[in-house]
Amino acid sequence: MAFRFVHTADIHLDSPLRSLVLRNPDLAELVGDASRQAFVSIIDLCLAERVDALVIALSRISKQLVFPDTVTIFGGRPQSVVQTAGGLDVAFHGLSFANPKAPESLLPKYPAAREGAVNVGIMHTSLAGSPGHDVYAPCSIADLHGHGFDYWALGHIHVRQVHPGASTVVMTGMPQGRDINEAGEKSATLVTIREDRSVEIEEKLTSIAQFERASVDLTGTVEWSEVVGRVRSALEGIRGSVRSRHVVVRLGLAGASPLSWALIRDRDLLLAEAEQAAEQTGDTWVEKLELDLAPQSAETADDVADPIFELAQSMHANVKSEAFRAEARALVQKMIADLPPDGRDFAGRDEAGLELFIDKVLASGADLVTARLKAGGAQ
């Protein structure tokens, strides 16, 4: 006999996808619905595996839904719920986030392990910290192992982590990624507790749309058809390696090619070609193109300095000019101020992110001007 439950977290139903909406409304609709479909797949998993419980660590949707009596929603004070199945008493200990910020550890608020029961702790925590995640109820893995519980069901960090030891500590990640920063397979955790209190875990795929990056080397390409062919091969390769129903790809095109300026100039046409190749590949989407193409030689065929290339060098030098950057920064900050609060992070979430955004915009702008000026000349 055994006690079994599914552990998931950070469901983020109906979370806004404004950056995708601006670029591709159809893709935004797909990814937005994927979060709901991933939750459906979790429920299907529970039914198929005939589990005894579903643990969600934790979710804000609870404030917007009416749940049956069989659902326990943990509040701002520690609470323990005992469930019996498979010949085992399992005590679930939980504590909800009462405030949007929790700079101190919540672990001291949790009760001691209940004697004679299998103890499962449910906690939302950033652990020791993770890039891209706010600090929330920080605590160490060692402290969790030392608390005496058998299993810790964690949420908050969107990447799956497993920390075996005196207890089994699992940050299950999220069931569905929402953008390229949440790339890779997303899953839930099926937990089986045996009669001897041993814990077994299985990762179960839940993501409907999986974000991935693909690099395409365009070195040596001289025909547009060669470029499209390499893009198509990259998309087909990544499609074959992804288990999720849909794959959403950010394409990075790099290398030295006589076509560099034409590709930069006709970026929209290249994106359209890539999107067509993705559609033909099946259940594949191109989220964005990133170009890192080597510029054309600074010399012409007559070994005379290319004035357009010299202009390009001058524009790139101006990117480093503080006066020029100040004007660009002021323009971007004005744009940010005119947007609603939840749409202001397109240029980074802090000062360093803003400066990086300005670097990219100014550099790509200089390349685009150069490419358009060379439109009538050799590529």
Span 194-237, pLDDT tens digits: 999 999 999 999 999 999 999 999 999 999 999 999 999 999 99
| Section 9-23 average pLDDT | 70
On whether both 177 and 265 belong to a single domain, the answer is no
Mean pLDDT of 239-262: 94
Are 221 and 182 in a shared domain?
A: no
**Which of these ranges, 171-175, 209-213, 253-257, 296-300, has the smallest mean pLDDT?**
296-300
- Residue 264: give the domain boundaries: 208-294
Shared domain for 284 and 195, answered yes or no, is no
370 & 349 share domain:
yes
Same domain, 218 and 135: no
Q: Do 332 and 317 lie in a common domain? A: yes
Decide if 306 contacts 295 (C-beta within 8 A): no
Question: pLDDT grade, residue 31 (50/70/90)?
Answer: confident
What tens digit of pLDDT does each residue of 275-296 get?
Answer: 999 999 999 999 999 998 876 5
Last residue of a domain, one of 279, 294, 309: 294
- 78 and 122 assigned to the same domain: yes
Instruction: Specify the number of domains making up the chain.
Output: 3
**105 and 145 both lie in a single domain:** yes
Nearest by Cα to 74 from 106, 42, 47: 106
**Antiparallel, parallel or unpaired: β 187-194 and 2-8:** antiparallel
Whole-number pLDDT of residue 122: 97
- Look at residues 205, 239, 256 and tell me which one is the last residue of a structural domain: 205
Residue 159 has pLDDT above 50, yes or no: yes
Spatial contact of 58 and 76, defined as CB atoms under 8 Å apart:
no
Please give the full DSSP string across 197-212, using - where no structure is assigned.
--EEEEEEE--SEEEE
How many other C-beta atoms lie within 10 A of the C-beta of residue 38?
26
* 50 lies in the same domain as 98: yes
Sheet holding 209-217, edge to edge: 209-217, 246-256, 284-294
Q: Are both 250 and 323 inside the same structural domain?
A: no
Asked if residue 217 and residue 358 are part of one domain, the reply reads no
User: What confidence category does residue 338 fall into, taking pLDDT thresholds of 50, 70 and 90?
Assistant: confident
- Tell me the average pLDDT across 140-156: 96
The CATH number given to whatever domain includes residue 88 is 3.60.21.10
Residue 78 in this model has a pLDDT that exceeds 80: yes
Q: Quick one: tokens of 64?
A: 């917007």
Q: 272, 294, 316 — which closes off a domain?
A: 294
Decide: helix, strand or coil at residue 256.
strand
SS3 130: coil
What does pLDDT average to over the chain?
87
Are residues 347 and 375 both part of a single domain? yes
